[in-house]
Amino acid sequence: MSQAVSVKVSSRYQVSVPRIARERLNIQSGDRLLVDVQDGALILIPQPQDYVAHMAGLYKDVWAGVDTTTYLAEEREAWNDSESD
C-alpha cells in the first residue's frame, strides 16, 4: 500500500483489515496475525502456518559459495582451541 488507509477502532477494540491489504497479503477469514508495537507504530504481520517452511531459504545469499561442512569444522575447531587455553 503506497497510501495509508484509515480504519476505526470499534467499542470492542476491533479493527477491520482493509481489502487492499488483505488482497496484497492474501489474508483470509480465520487467518491469524501477529501484533507488534515498534517505535509508536502498530504492526500486523500474517502468522505463518508452518514456521519451518516460512524460514526455509532465509539468508541463503549469505551462504552462497560457502562450503558449510568446512565452515562448521573450522568453527568447531575454534571452540576446541579456546577450551584448551
pTM greater than the 0.75 cutoff: no
Q: What is the pLDDT of residue 28?
A: 94
Distance CA 67, CA 81 (A): 21
- Which residues 6+ apart lie within 8 Å of 31 measured at CB? 46, 47
Identify the segments of the chain with pLDDT beneath 70: 1, 51, 54, 83-85
Backbone angles phi and psi of 54, in degrees to 5: -65, -35
Phi then psi for residue 60, to 5 deg, are -65, -25
- Where along the chain do its domains lie? 19-83
The answer to whether residues 15 and 8 touch, using CB atoms and an 8 Å cutoff, is: yes
- Closest among 4, 47, 36, 1 to 21, alpha carbons compared: 1
